[in-house]
């Protein structure tokens, strides 16, 4: 233990006039390492500039205080807040904080230099946590930024510690970043152990060291809290479910109806996926499964019609006949919510191995032949229903065997009990380059609609819209999935808004014409009842609409993607920022953003 502690202490002594790269997958503990390194330097009385691109300084300050810097911020600590303005949150300039935009490398340079001059010292430790977001926005330009700014900053008698998330970029770009680094540490997590691999260091030999850890990052809330009936407005929930079963167009949103163009939640999901391509598919899969498997626990909140229906549900899912019974109940609901046309393939199914075909899947219908299986909602949801109904208390999983995303005319998935190795490879088949290809496909669809009037979605039977229940799996789960997911939706929205703005301006549109195009697009998607004037108002925004079913309200707004998207668009087209000043999730009658 003494050797291990000494080793970790030496790792946090960043060599002077050097750039240290700390790489590893999201959640490996890189931010914790940065915070501990900052505390060590601050206690020693040495100056620290902390550039944050993934969360606001307020949250980092709380962590630093708990780590031992004291109740009051020391004068040798300053921040560049490159997160808040990027995603449409308020950044308040203070004596110890300068605001910047992590999509603008020049603003990062200017903000850091300003604090460097203010400190008027050498031996400053510049912590960049992290380079991932600037890289996703600016691509290969980040290499030039490291070479011309960060390396120069270090050469002036300072030191630099930068984090980069493996899997969130091209391998060749990470190799280029490594070539510009004087010290390289790789960090990973295996079960409850953190492993640091010293790849390159001037005073330490290459070796790996392991350390037992507690929780790696804030735990996600999960589904369990939804079982508290004191949480729900039972009258609103009853009306919502009954209107869905009757095929009525509106229960929660009288002005625009309870259906949303499926391009909008898909844009949110695949924009946010850029920030964590390996963990997000598994996280969404697990949340979808938990949601569906909890159906019996939720019975007390359902109208009596649903309770009666579920009383006769099958409980021997191993049997083909019982599975067919379950899907005969499930399939009409899927068609009603327009997530897909579900068919049980009894001829090729057998005990404990069931095959399900889906036509016009809402997950896949705009991603023909992108190279990977795309379905995220129905396979995991069906596996969860198997767990919820079956009396044996077994785990069930779903693996997609055919997909529109693979070039097939429809999607198929296999349902089996227990954990299978193929599930892991299925969920980890997505990499950054594929996500960029998918994201480009979405942006091209948007441009085809906004500039050339082409349809966003072509589904001959189900049409272009999906029900709010399905939309909620993209927009309601984030506040159950944790802060990383929320950050990714904010950043993903900003990136998508910027790209749409750039494409419209490159097409020769004026600022006002671009604004009209985005208004028409958002209105067509039915994100809510939209008005744009001196402010932007959205009544019944689909991203926060589920709060109508709950008695409680949140302290913070829940419009993660919408705020990021609007902010990214206005930064690009109008050189202005937007900030959400009202949100239905906090109890306001509508969501509203100021333009400044």
The CA distance from 468 to 356, in Å, is 24
Q: Would the pLDDT of 576 be above 80?
A: yes
Q: How far is CA 443 from the centre of its chain?
A: 18
Over residues 184-199, the pLDDT tens digits come to 999 988 877 888 899 9
Q: Would the pLDDT of 14 be above 80?
A: yes
pTM score of the predicted model? 0.92
Q: Which of 280, 271, 270 is nearest to 428 (CA)?
A: 280
Per-residue HEC secondary structure of 470-487 comes to HHHHHHCCHHHHCHHHHH
Over residues 107-148, the pLDDT tens digits come to 999 999 999 999 988 899 999 999 999 999 999 999 999 999
**Mean of pLDDT values over 448-454:** 96
The answer to whether 258 touches 246, Cβ cutoff 8 Å, is: no
Over residues 220-273, the pLDDT tens digits come to 555 555 555 567 777 777 777 777 777 777 888 989 999 999 999 999 999 999
Q: Would the pLDDT of 301 be above 60?
A: no
Q: Would the pLDDT of 381 be above 80?
A: yes
Q: How far is CA 419 from the centre of its chain?
A: 25
Q: Would the pLDDT of 286 be above 70?
A: yes
Q: How far is CA 149 from the centre of its chain?
A: 30
The answer to whether 48 touches 127, Cβ cutoff 8 Å, is: yes
Q: How far is CA 219 from the centre of its chain?
A: 15
Over residues 395-429, the pLDDT tens digits come to 999 999 999 999 999 999 999 998 777 777 777 77
Please report the pLDDT score of residue 1 as a whole number: 41
Please report the pLDDT score of residue 556 as a whole number: 84
Domain ranges of the chain: 2-212
Please report the pLDDT score of residue 390 as a whole number: 86
**Mean of pLDDT values over 4-28:** 83
Taking the CB of residue 319, how many other CB atoms lie within 10 A of it? 14
Please report the pLDDT score of residue 215 as a whole number: 45
Please report the pLDDT score of residue 545 as a whole number: 85
Reported confidence tier of residue 2, pLDDT bands at 50, 70, 90: very low
Over residues 468-503, the pLDDT tens digits come to 989 988 876 665 667 888 899 999 999 999 999 999
The answer to whether 507 touches 451, Cβ cutoff 8 Å, is: yes
Taking the CB of residue 343, how many other CB atoms lie within 10 A of it? 15
Q: How far is CA 451 from the centre of its chain?
A: 28
More confident residue, 324 or 389: 324
Reported confidence tier of residue 219, pLDDT bands at 50, 70, 90: very low
Q: Would the pLDDT of 300 be above 60?
A: no
User: Which of 29-38, 133-142, 259-268, 574-583 has the least mean pLDDT?
Assistant: 29-38
Write down the CATH superfamily of domain 2-212: P-loop containing nucleotide triphosphate hydrolases (3.40.50.300)
- pLDDT above 70 covers a percentage of the chain that reads 90
- pLDDT above 90 covers a percentage of the chain that reads 58
The CA distance from 399 to 52, in Å, is 38
User: Which of 318-327, 339-348, 468-477 has the least mean pLDDT?
Assistant: 468-477
Q: Which of 70, 62, 4, 16 is nearest to 35 (CA)?
A: 62
């Amino acid at each position: 233990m003494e050797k291990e502690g000494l080793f970790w202490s030496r790792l946090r002594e960043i060599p002077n006039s050097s750039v240290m790269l700390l790489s590893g997958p999201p959640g490996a503990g890189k931010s914790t390492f940065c915070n501990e390194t900052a505390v060590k330097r601050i206690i020693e009385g040495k100056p620290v500039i902390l550039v944050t691109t993934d969360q606001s300084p307020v949250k980092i300050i709380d962590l630093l205080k708990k780590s031992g810097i004291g109740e009051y911020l020391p004068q040798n600590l300053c921040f560049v807040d490159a997160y808040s303005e990027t995603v449409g949150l308020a950044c308040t300039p203070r004596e110890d904080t300068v605001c910047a935009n992590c999509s603008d490398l020049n603003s990062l340079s200017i903000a850091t230099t300003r604090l460097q001059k203010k400190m008027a010292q050498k031996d400053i430790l510049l912590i960049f946590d992290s380079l991932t977001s600037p890289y996703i926005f600016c691509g290969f330009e980040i290499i030039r930024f490291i070479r011309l700014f960060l390396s120069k900053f270090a050469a002036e008698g300072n030191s630099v510690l930068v984090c980069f998330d493996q899997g969130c970029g091209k391998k060749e770009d990470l190799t280029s970043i490594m070539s510009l680094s004087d010290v390289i540490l790789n960090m990973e997590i295996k079960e409850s152990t953190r492993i640091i691999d010293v790849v390159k260091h001037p005073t330490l030999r290459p070796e790996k060291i392991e350390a037992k850890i507690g929780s790696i990052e804030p735990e996600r809330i999960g589904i369990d809290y939804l079982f508290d009936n004191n949480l729900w407005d039972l009258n609103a929930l009853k009306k919502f479910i009954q209107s869905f079963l009757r095929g009525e167009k509106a229960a929660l949103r009288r002005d625009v109806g309870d259906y949303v163009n499926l391009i909008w939640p898909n844009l949110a999901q695949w924009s946010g996926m850029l920030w964590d391509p390996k963990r997000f598919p598994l996280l969404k899969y697990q949340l979808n499964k938990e949601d569906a498997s909890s159906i019996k626990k939720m019975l007390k909140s359902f109208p009596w019609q649903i309770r009666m229906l579920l009383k006769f549900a099958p409980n021997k899912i191993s049997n083909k006949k019982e599975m067919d019974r379950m899907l005969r109940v499930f399939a009409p609901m899927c068609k009603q919510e327009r997530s897909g046309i579900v068919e049980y393939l009894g001829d090729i199914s057998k005990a404990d191995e069931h095959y399900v075909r889906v036509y016009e899947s809402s997950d896949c219908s705009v991603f023909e032949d992108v190279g990977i299986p795309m379905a995220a909602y129905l396979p995991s949801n069906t596996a969860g229903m198997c767990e919820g109904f079956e009396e044996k208390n077994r785990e069930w999983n779903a693996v997609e065997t055919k997909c529109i995303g693979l070039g097939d005319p429809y999607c198929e998935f296999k349902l089996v009990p227990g954990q299978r190795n193929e599930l892991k490879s299925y969920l980890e088949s997505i990499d950054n380059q594929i996500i960029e290809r998918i994201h480009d496909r979405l942006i091209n669809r948007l441009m085809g609609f906004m500039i050339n009037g082409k349809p966003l979605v072509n589904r001959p039977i189900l049409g272009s819209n999906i029900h709010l229940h399905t939309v909620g799996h993209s927009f309601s789960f984030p506040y159950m999935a944790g802060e990383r997911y929320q950050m990714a939706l904010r950043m993903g929205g900003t990136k998508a808004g910027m790209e749409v703005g750039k494409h419209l301006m490159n097409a020769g549109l004026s600022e006002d014409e671009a604004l009209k195009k985005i208004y028409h697009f958002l209105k067509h998607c039915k994100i809510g009842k939209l008005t744009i004037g001196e402010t932007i108002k959205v009544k019944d925004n689909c991203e926060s609409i589920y709060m109508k079913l709950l008695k409680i309200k949140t302290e913070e707004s829940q419009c993660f993607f919408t705020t990021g998207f609007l902010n990214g668009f206005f930064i690009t087209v109008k050189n202005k920022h937007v900030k959400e000043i009202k949100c239905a999730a906090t109890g306001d009658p509508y969501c509203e953003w100021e333009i400044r």
